[in-house]
Amino acid sequence: MKPFAESCEQNKYVIFDVIQQEFAECSKVLEIGSGTGQHAVHFCQHLLHLTWQPSEQAENIPGIMEWLKDYPHDNIANPIELNVERDWPQSTFDGVFSANTSHIMHWPQVIKMFQGIGQVLEPGGVFCLYGPFNYNQKYTSDSNRNFDLWLKEQDPERGIRDFDDLNELAINNQLRIKNDVEMPANNRILVWEKS
């Protein structure tokens, strides 16, 4: 049975509206934390000019394969195992996408994610990160505050990250901010470009 995430179903259209522009010139995109695979399948049926590389932890890869069984095109590669702390692919990409990962990862893993992206992203390539973010160490909404409290109840090392902290990691890995797009439900898409 295919895994299903309601949040992916709800946000796939608004995310696509942004990434179709940001990835218009891309040919090979790495997705970090592909989850169920729903995003990959939805995006790629409209982005036939590029090859999408899903990645996940090993236990989630069979679920992604279930989604790919019914996908009629060949522009999604088989998912690869990716632990941001050690398992980065040897190939390079001109686009990287990740949704709802930075607040789930522990901060040292977020650091490693940006370091890895700095290594695999080609000059001129773009990194799109979707999720909730704080600004100036402040929540942008009550719902984000409540969500952050819930995250920390599950795991004290989780939490909504601050834009300035993420941007500092980006700068340290040759990424400069290109776009910051407001999204529904108090989320955003941050877009960095590799220099």
Residue 2 reports pLDDT greater than 90: no
For tokens 């398992």, name the residue: 87
CA distance 5 to 2: 10
Residue 1 reports pLDDT greater than 90: no
pTM: 0.97
Residue pLDDT, tens place only, 67-84: 999 899 999 999 999 999
* Ordered structural domains, the chain, with CATH: 1-89 (3.40.50.150), 124-187 (no CATH)
**What's the average model confidence in pLDDT over 124-145?**
98
Q: Which two tokens stand for residue 82?
A: 């990716």
For residue 34, what are the β-bridge partners?
A: none
CA distance 65 to 78: 7
Q: Are 12 and 42 in contact (CB under 8 A)?
A: yes
